[in-house]
Structure 1
Amino acid sequence: MGDRDTNLTRRRLLAGLVAVPAAPLMFMPAMASERLSEDDPQARALSYVHDASTTDHPDYREGQTCLNCQLYTDADAAEWGPCAVFPGKLVAAAGWCSAWVPRA
């Protein structure tokens, strides 16, 4: 029984050693690489525009942009950045969509 416990402990140790370096990769959001098109079906469904000042959506309020939206996940991205609503895509910092949420 002692050998069995030792083998299980070794397996757990090895599994832990392998998992630790890989942990950041599992929790890191997918990197956005492609700019979102206004013609994208999801963008159209959420009334996304590259320039917030051009929208006539009834929910839009002056001053709302992707840059000051909580869903814009890199507030340091000044021109194009990632958005939680459009994974894998970059949205215009000056853009807007109906999913806009004020940054806290």
Structure 2
Amino acid sequence: MTDIKRRKFVSLMTAGAAVVPVSALVASLPSRADEAPMVDPESAQAKGLQYVEASENEEQNCGNCLLYTGEADAEAGPCPLFPGMSVTKAGWCSAYQPKG
């Protein structure tokens, strides 16, 4: 194998090795069809955080909480306090922190 062919081969192998982990990561991300289930307000975790699906205070809700990571136009979205689940944008819990 000539030196140029070897360099080309090593370069291609290195690039291929970098693509495999990235493609695995992208494949593991949830799609819109795989939306997370909603938090059950009767679950122990939800009760512990006093989670409700509709806030009594319009100014304090999941949609304007620092922890809420849902899309602005979505009715529900993820919250790190409930991994793998969605909370309603209108909801509230005792961990509420206003967005700065």
- Whether these two folds match at TM > 0.5 is yes
Of 82, 88, 91 in structure 2, the residue corresponding to residue 95 of structure 1 is 91
Which residue is equivalent to 1:22? 24
Q: Does the aligned pair in 2 maintain the 1:67–1:78 contact within 8 Å?
A: no
Q: Measure, in 2, the Cα distance between the counterparts of 1:18 and 1:80.
A: 32
- Cα distance in 1, alignment partners of residues 15 and 55 from structure 2: 53
Match of 2:50 among 36, 47, 51: 47
Residue 45 (structure 1) shift = 0.6
Q: Could you tell me the TM-score, scaled by structure 1's length?
A: 0.66
Aligned length: 93
**RMSD (Å), alpha carbons:** 3.1
Residues 1-104 of structure 1 mapped to structure 2, 5 A cutoff: 9=10, 12-25=14-27, 28=29, 32-53=35-56, 63-104=59-100
Which structure carries more relative contact order (alpha carbon 8 Å, separation 6+)? Answer: 1
Alignment check: 8 A CA contact 1:77 1:93 kept: no
Task: Give the deviation of 1:14 after TM superposition.
Answer: 3.3
Residue identity opposite 1:37 in structure 2: D
CA deviation string 1:14-72 (max 9, x = no partner): 3223223234346x47964211111011101100001111xxxxxxx661000101211
- TM-score norm. by structure 2 comes to 0.69
Gaps of 5+ in 1: 1-5, 54-60
Judged with a 3 Å threshold, the aligned counterparts in structure 2 of structure 1 residues 88 and 102 are, in CA distance, closer, same or farther, namely same
